[in-house]
Structure 1
């Protein structure tokens, strides 16, 4: 089956002296994933490798309409396929791929889990057409400081507790107060509530996700947060709104599960999709101005798994 992609490009440019941040966003076929390109006037740092090599190439092509500066690094903020599946395309451009040790260790299991789903369940790919698992060029523990050609510093910080995924990396540029957090924040967009993939089981850990958000608000209060989807916003506002969303999502899902008598058969069986859609509708009603509501429908099963334990 041929995998056809038509990608919508949504972009913006944020200027800080000689620095520009260019934003590429795929359409729903790439899960509305954003790639951020931090251009300091001499080189570019990328965050978000996209879901397929084809979309990754489109992201790079978009960047080339903005700057000819070389891309030095691609940072994988967490082990989800829309962040790493397109990494090989960046590497073909001479880009070094960076991630934390915990993310590198998680990628093989996540890749196998997602490949099985997209090939055998969703049937969107064949064994041959599903993206190859990338190799990582630079792996770090805890923190990594990189001094760029112009003397500017990039600080990568591993937060190895589960959040939106099994592990998270924050990337900050102290000079410009820019913070890249992956999908920990979807400001005014619905969140991906699947959680981390561990031992072939998806399970959201909302309490730990909220811990990450409190940390961001406290440690990066004067930074602008660039999340995997949604709007860029001040870190304190981003954390406050995301926490409210997560707490509401957890309560709505818990109440819905109780209304079904905590039935695993209903919630994890053949009718699961119907219930996922109903929970999506409840969250859309609570957050009517939020975008990308299909995130709930396809990711809520991880939160359901956690609440049924």
Structure 2
């Protein structure tokens, strides 16, 4: 049953000081997605539901090598399948799945768009084997504060303008100054440049993405940021580098399109993959210490769509 809540979810009133964060990272079959498990000493809050239930099970197995504390929540930070496809496993292990209203609205379209791609184009799944659309237990609008059993508080914020996806959620833990941002920040890892899926089209919105980043550094400058890929690092450093990365990627892609001249129509035809790979190579050369280059190749089409308009 879906629970719609407003404002505050209160559980208890005493604060413990045994917080730890465990990190599980999938391999390339799960797009190197990270699941974070925030352990406050009594219970677990999870981020990153993984791309498939099978990988989600591995994430839970990893968690159980660290602690037997109960899993209370899985929070979906944005409507991309690597964040929600494995959520049924987290629910099976006791977690309530939480997402914002705007994310809940976006998930069905994203699910159908991605299912079509992975079943009919990439042929990685069949109609029967592709993960089911997630069940959401708690939906909130704008902001939700949750007090855990030991009294520790965390805040979930909905930002319903596009960034890495069509809508973003930030989750902050004031006691430990920890901030979970989904894929808005990939420190030292290449970004997913597809953008949000709206009306069946992918289009990156880099300017709005950078507005999210400006908000993070303005409000959480002394927090440590945990992104969907890459390294955890303090917000001031993470945001500065992410903005530099995005501006450089836009410049490189614009230059590539301009140099194609009358051949730029190839960017949306059967020749598109070779151009995506070529752009990947240029960006990778500009950021030689960055990981997961393939993120560029498969996501760059969304940025190209935006720049061709």
The residue that corresponds to 1:233 in the other structure is: 233
Contact 1:262 1:308 in 2 (8 A): no
Partners of 2:235 and 2:69 lie apart in 1 by 28
Structure 2: segments with no counterpart, 5+ residues: 1-15
The residue that corresponds to 1:157 in the other structure is: 157
* Shift, 1:232, TM fit: 0.4
Contact 1:158 1:169 in 2 (8 A): yes
Contact 1:194 1:300 in 2 (8 A): yes
The residue that corresponds to 1:289 in the other structure is: 289
Partners of 1:261 and 1:171 lie apart in 2 by 44
The residue that corresponds to 2:209 in the other structure is: 209
Task: Summarize the alignment of residues 96-111 of structure 1 with structure 2, pairs less than 5 Å apart.
Answer: 96-111=96-111
Matched residue of 2:117: which SS? helix
The residue that corresponds to 1:142 in the other structure is: 142
Contact 1:74 1:97 in 2 (8 A): yes
The residue that corresponds to 2:194 in the other structure is: 194
Contact 1:190 1:292 in 2 (8 A): yes
TM-score for both structures, normalised by structure 1: 0.94
Query: Please, which moves more after superposition, 255-264 or 88-97?
Result: 255-264
Contact 2:17 2:41 in 1 (8 A): no
Moved beyond 3 Å, runs of 4+? none
Number of residue pairs matched? 294
Matched residue of 2:89: which SS? helix
* Shift, 1:172, TM fit: 0.5
Matched residue of 2:282: which SS? helix
* Shift, 1:93, TM fit: 1.4
Task: Summarize the alignment of residues 51-200 of structure 1 with structure 2, pairs less than 5 Å apart.
Answer: 51-200=51-200
Matched residue of 1:217: which SS? helix
* Shift, 1:264, TM fit: 4.9
Partners of 2:19 and 2:207 lie apart in 1 by 36
User: CA offsets per residue over residues 62-100 of structure 1, 9 Å max, x none?
Assistant: 000000000100000000000000001111112100000
Partners of 1:92 and 1:265 lie apart in 2 by 47
Matched residue of 1:22: which SS? strand
User: CA offsets per residue over residues 110-153 of structure 1, 9 Å max, x none?
Assistant: 00000000000000000000000011100000000000001000
Partners of 2:180 and 2:71 lie apart in 1 by 17
Partners of 1:162 and 1:262 lie apart in 2 by 31
Partners of 2:226 and 2:202 lie apart in 1 by 25
Partners of 1:50 and 1:256 lie apart in 2 by 33
Contact 1:56 1:86 in 2 (8 A): yes
The residue that corresponds to 2:253 in the other structure is: 253
Partners of 2:150 and 2:302 lie apart in 1 by 43
* Shift, 1:180, TM fit: 0.1
Partners of 2:262 and 2:41 lie apart in 1 by 55
Matched residue of 2:72: which SS? strand
Partners of 1:259 and 1:56 lie apart in 2 by 43
Structure 1: segments with no counterpart, 5+ residues: 1-15
* Shift, 1:265, TM fit: 2.5
TM-score for both structures, normalised by structure 2: 0.94
Provide the aligned C-alpha RMSD in A.
1.0
Matched residue of 1:141: which SS? strand
120 and 89 in structure 1: CA distance in 2 versus 1, 3 angstrom threshold: same
User: CA offsets per residue over residues 32-82 of structure 1, 9 Å max, x none?
Assistant: 000000000100000010000000010001000000000100000000000
